Structure 1
Amino acid sequence: MTVTLITGAANGLGWELARACHARGDHLLLTDIDAPALAERVAQLGGHGVMGIAGDITDTRLQRQLLEQCRARFGRLDLLINNAGITHRSPATRTDPAVFRKVMAVDYQAPVELTLAALPLLRESRGQITAIGSMAGWMPVLGRAGYCAAKSALGQFFEVLRAELTLDGIHLLLVYPSFLDTSIERHALGADGQPAGHARSTIGKVRGADWMAGQILRALEQRRERLFPDRGSYLASLLWRLAPAFYYRQMSRRFAGELPKSGASDA
């Protein structure tokens, strides 16, 4: 029996991962802040092997509840997928600092805290951890300063943690997607913390969440350490390192709509 815990499981990539893991026979513990949507997803999958617990993943009480219920219900944890995330679309100089704090709490602090709390269970099973990062953690993207910072912090933390996990026989996969068609962008925050009022800018092909879920499960089966599913974004990250001035010119043209209007005052 494989027991998988997925955060942010009610929509987007989290839901597609839940469907794919369920199809291969995993027992699932799913969590999401959207309680009605989570209850609907658990009902869709059905069966005694699926459990849902709704709540805010940044709340350490929820994190403890998830792990306590995982042990009580299933007796083990084999795979932790840190998927829950949030983003924003707003110029850094116009953004309420509370937005940055929220993005950092969800995208960095929560997965770090949940992972560390889950280590006793994962050591017992010599299990696996997946952290969903972003190519935005490898290169600057206009209008996403807080998101870039959070995903960069996430990647660096887990890359350091990897060496310690290896001593316990725990496998770690870091995933660096580019632009996906998921609810994270549809729910992006604006500068004031309300939903962003403009469409996102993108580079390259926007991939489906089901495609991304399949790539992640294959990478886990192959016990890969890192997954860069979008070749174009990976090459762009190399361009940022090799020719940063050229990268900035290209990014500024492509993401011009994310720049503050000339002459506008700072918030």
Structure 2
Amino acid sequence: MAELPEIELFKQKMQRNVLRKKLGSLRLQNAKGELLAEAGGLAEDALQGKEISDIHRYGTQIFCELDRREILALQLGGELTMELERGTSPEAGGENRAGLELAINAQLRLRLQGAQLGSRLRLLDETSDVDFLTKLGPDPLLVPAEGLGHLREALSRRRSALRNVLLDDSFVPGIGPIWADEILFQARLRPDRLVPSLSDEERERLLEQIPMVLQRVLRSQAKTPLLPKGFLTRHREDGHCPSCGGALEPLSIGGKSALFCPACQV
């Protein structure tokens, strides 16, 4: 699962390794290992020879500026694994799993594996439709803690369960189930609480925890053993609350399963 902190760390890795390098061939194969003709509407050689001149991120989108004229947008959220590997490309059909691969400078490969790989690439120029970006909420890793006014206003218009709000990209893009559960645990709020039921103090507590939790995950390199001992995520497998020691419980919200502590989250 690729969520906002993992994608930010991947962007940082790309900045260290692929800036000012040139792109090579683009390959997309299905679960049978068969090569497909196009990836995201792009032919195999569509990006050949173009240099990555800059890299940015917003939400789950990573934007690679090419030759300072076009932008390659990569959508990296959801059920996806991301790798930046050294070495040559495997032969077609050598791996029986769906994958998208972009060669970089003949020595690096950017590889994605997951769902809907063909729709995760967009090549943008000044005439491209970018309405998909206007539907995203503020990026919580780019908004300082003292600048949460937009989130405060957006939260005031919501009526649904807190976990559903956190998973909605129009509120904050890129938060998935793991870090939504963590934010709510640190804010001491049940995932099924409805927004209108929150007191002013509870609203502020929730908003403050969004950037605080994500920044702490970044500092821990999104590695579970490096997270603070008081984080719920460290105890997903043993099933015990790090605060009270009680049993963590699953809770179905909108058809999706959340994890919480019924004693500490109210």
Q: Common fold, TM-score beyond 0.5? A: no
Higher helix proportion, which one? 1
TM-score by length of 2: 0.30
TM-score by length of 1: 0.29
Higher strand proportion, which one? 2
